[in-house]
Amino acid sequence: MFQTADQAMQHHILTQVARLADAGILTSTATRDLGPINAANVREAHRIQETGAAIGKTTLTGF
């Protein structure tokens, strides 16, 4: 079900990305983590994004 023709290439690409991230060459754009997913944090994340002034990514944890 999850097999694709380019699965080996995807592995190669993700391995390269992991190496670059480990070396500090690639960095995340996540700038703010609001903690676990709950109604209050989702509302806050939405409020932040609606301001139009958010820089980077706002994340929630606990999926």
- Gap between the Cα atoms of 37 and 28, Å rounded: 20
**What is this structure's pTM?**
0.60
Examine the pLDDT at 1 and tell me if it is beyond 90. Answer: no
Q: What is the pLDDT of residue 62?
A: 82
Task: Write out pLDDT tens, residues 11-49.
Answer: 999 999 999 999 999 998 899 999 999 999 999 999 999
* Antiparallel, parallel or unpaired: β 57-61 and 30-36: parallel
